[in-house]
Amino acid sequence: MNVTLPDGTLAEVQFRGSNLFAEYEHIAYDSRQLKNTLGKTFDEYKKAIKSLSDDDYKEYNTYLRKCYNYYRNKELGIIAGPKPILPEKFSKILSQESMENLYKLNHEKTQVAMQTFKPHLELVA
C-alpha cells in the first residue's frame, strides 16, 4: 500500500504473514526493475532475471504467484495442495528454493556486517 506521510513524503507499507516467502518473493521484481536494493549474493539471480524475455518473465511471475498462494494458504491452515514446481525451461537459480537459500545467506551476511557497522557509526559520530 502506498501512503503519503504528514510531511508529503510518499512511502510504501507492506503487510506480510509469517512465512519467509513473503520476505523474498519481491526479489524478482526488484531485480527486473534494476533496483539497487540487493547485495552481491543475488548477482547470479539478477543476471538470470534480466535475461528473461517479457513473455518468460510473465510465466515466471505466474510460478511466483502460485508459490505465494501456496505458502499463504498453508499459513492460514488451508489445504495447499502440491508445492509449485519451477518450469524446466528456467534456470534453477530462479526456483523458490534457491531464492530462499540466497535470502538466508544474504541475511546472515547482513547480520555479520551490522555487528561491525554499528561500532563504526559510534566511532565516526
pLDDT at 74: 87
pLDDT at 67: 92
Closest CA to 87 of 106, 64, 69: 64
pLDDT at 36: 65
* Interatomic CA distance for residues 113 and 6, integer angstroms: 33
Q: Is 25 helix (H, G, I), strand (E, B) or coil?
A: coil
pTM over 0.85: no
Task: Report percent pLDDT > 70 for the chain.
Answer: 83
* Interatomic CA distance for residues 46 and 29, integer angstroms: 10
pLDDT per position as a tens digit, 8-56: 988 877 666 666 777 777 777 777 777 666 678 888 988 999 999 999 9
pLDDT per position as a tens digit, 90-123: 999 999 999 889 888 877 877 777 776 655 555 5
Contact 106, 30 (CB under 8 A): no
* Length of the chain counted residue by residue: 125
Q: Is 31 helix (H, G, I), strand (E, B) or coil?
A: helix
